[in-house]
Amino acid sequence: MIFSKRFVNGVIRAFVELTIRPHIDELDQVPMTGPYLIAGNHVNTMDGLVMFSYIPPRPLTTLSKEENFSNPINRMVSEAWGAIPIKRGTVDNNAMNLCLEALKEGKMLAILPEGTRSRDGVMAQGKPGILPLAVKSGVPIIPVGFYGHENFWKNVRSFRKTDFFLKVGQPFRIKATMRDLDREHRQIITDELMYRIALLLPEKYRGYYSDLSKATTNYLEFTTFEKESGLQGEMARE
């Protein structure tokens, strides 16, 4: 049976509203149009469910591992979100091109650089896969921090709602070229990005990025949301 995108997203939104208490006022800072990369920490499944439930009508998409399209339920959700399939453990040029095309269309693209769920909400070291996309597209990155819902599934089993917190940081671009993304520098740049997410979280959730004195911004160029109003048109003219 084929379910419509509207139906699937409606079911997801109903589930989210039934099970969480959202504290997401800062989501209003995100402009209504893109293109932007949204980079966040990854606690559990609820990160994506909440983002895709409350960010509309902003045009948001994300990456989804290729295996999800083989599972009927995961495929249904991924297709409803317009997710881009990606092959894990390899350089997926097709996924990269689809991501770049989505950004040129003015969409926002959500990426979780840790690559896997922490489950306890504590940050792990980020992976540099987001960097080529950020450098090639030149679009700003919006750091987003999720916290408070690490016990979500336990609370569901006890019929209790879970507080879900979402924080939005200052956008920035990566000041680097593809040549800068060698083995030595790509993790340094990734860590600079991840510290911007860590700054949005309470101390107990910062994990690998707990020591904020190590945070540097040598490869980050900070901007504001207002300055990006013409970016979509600039990309379209390239």
The alpha carbon torsion through 14, 16, 19, 25 (nearest 10 deg) reads -120
Exposed, middle or buried by CB within 10 Å (0-12, 13-18, 19+), for 138? middle
Report residue 109 as tokens: 């693209």
The reported pLDDT for the residue numbered 6 is 83
Give yes or no for a contact between 106 and 33, defined as CB atoms under 8 angstroms apart.
Answer: yes
User: According to DSSP H, which parts of the chain are helical?
Assistant: 5-19, 46-54, 72-80, 93-104, 130-137, 152-157, 183-198, 231-236
CATH of 5-236, one of 1.20.120, 3.30.450, 3.30.43, 3.40.1130: 3.40.1130
The reported pLDDT for the residue numbered 8 is 86
The reported pLDDT for the residue numbered 3 is 61
Q: What is the mean pLDDT of the segment spanning 192-218?
A: 98
Query: What percent of the chain shows pLDDT beyond 90?
Result: 74
Whether residue 89 is predicted with pLDDT greater than 90 in this model: the reply is: no
The closest of 143, 69, 135 to 96, measured between CA atoms, is 135
The alpha carbon torsion through 103, 190, 45, 153 (nearest 10 deg) reads -160
Whether residue 227 is predicted with pLDDT greater than 70 in this model: the reply is: no
pLDDT, tens digit, for every residue of 142-191?
999 999 999 999 999 999 999 999 999 999 999 999 999 998 899 999 99
- In the three-class reduction of DSSP (H, G, I as helix; E, B as strand; rest coil), residue 194 is classed as helix
Instruction: State residue 146 phi and psi, 5-degree precision.
Output: -110, 135
Task: Give strand pairing partners of 108.
Answer: 36, 60
Instruction: State residue 36 phi and psi, 5-degree precision.
Output: -145, 150
How would residue 235 be classed by pLDDT, with cut points 50, 70 and 90?
very low
pLDDT, tens digit, for every residue of 23-78?
999 999 999 988 999 999 999 999 999 999 999 999 999 998 888 787 878 888 88
Whether residue 90 is predicted with pLDDT greater than 80 in this model: the reply is: no
Task: Report how far Cα 200 is from the mean position of its chain's Cα atoms.
Answer: 14
Domains of the chain, residue spans: 5-236
pTM over 0.85: yes
Q: What region does 119 belong to: left with phi over 0, alpha with psi -120 to 50, or beta?
A: left
How would residue 223 be classed by pLDDT, with cut points 50, 70 and 90?
very high
* DSSP annotation of 22: E
User: Residue written as tokens 């509207």?
Assistant: 6
User: Residue written as tokens 């507080």?
Assistant: 163
Mean pLDDT for all residues in the chain = 90
Least confident of 2-6, 23-27, 82-86, 230-234: 230-234
How would residue 234 be classed by pLDDT, with cut points 50, 70 and 90?
very low
